[in-house]
Amino acid sequence: MPPFLLSADPIPDTTSPFGPGLGAEVRFLGVVRGEEEGLTISGIDYTAYLPMAERLLGELMAQGREQHGPHEAYIQHRLGFVAAEAPSILIWVRTRHSAAAFDLCRWYLKEIKTRVPIWKRPVFQETNTEPV
């Protein structure tokens, strides 16, 4: 299994993608909230500049291994429309120790949000448009 996936496919509830050998595993699911800017939304439409996003995710995974020691990681981010209450991102990390697994999961999330060209556009229920 590749270490990351950008896809319109739903995030499955699956067994661990990792082999044996490391003791702590953290799985983070980012779920689309039912409101944005105080307004009810039906979901979020995610777009990405795929060539750059895939390259940067690969670089991010390599940087994680270099800077944060031995671990395994898998990242899946949905593209296209994701309904409210459905997961839009999965970050799965496995390390030797629990504190490192939580820290790495948080690090990957922060880096994805700040460095990877994935954009979101909320779809509002009231008018089906963005607020003025």
- Tens of pLDDT, residues 62-115: 999 999 988 999 999 999 999 999 999 999 999 999 999 999 999 999 999 999
Does 109 fall in a domain? yes
Rounded CA separation 35/44 (Å): 10
Give domain status of residue 14, yes or no: no
Domain around 107: 4-9+23-124
- For the stretch 35-67, pLDDT in tens is 998 999 999 999 999 999 999 999 999 999 999
| CATH number of the domain encompassing residue 99 | 3.90.1170.40
Q: Is residue 60 part of a domain?
A: yes
- Domain contains 78: yes
Q: What is the DSSP letter of 10?
A: P
Give the global pTM. 0.85
18 touches 73 (CB < 8 A): no
Report if residue 131 sits inside a domain: no
Element (H, E) at 25: strand 24-31
Residue 130 lies in a domain: no
Q: At 124, which amino acid appears?
A: F
Helix H or strand E encompassing 39: strand 39-48
The domain tally of the chain equals: 1
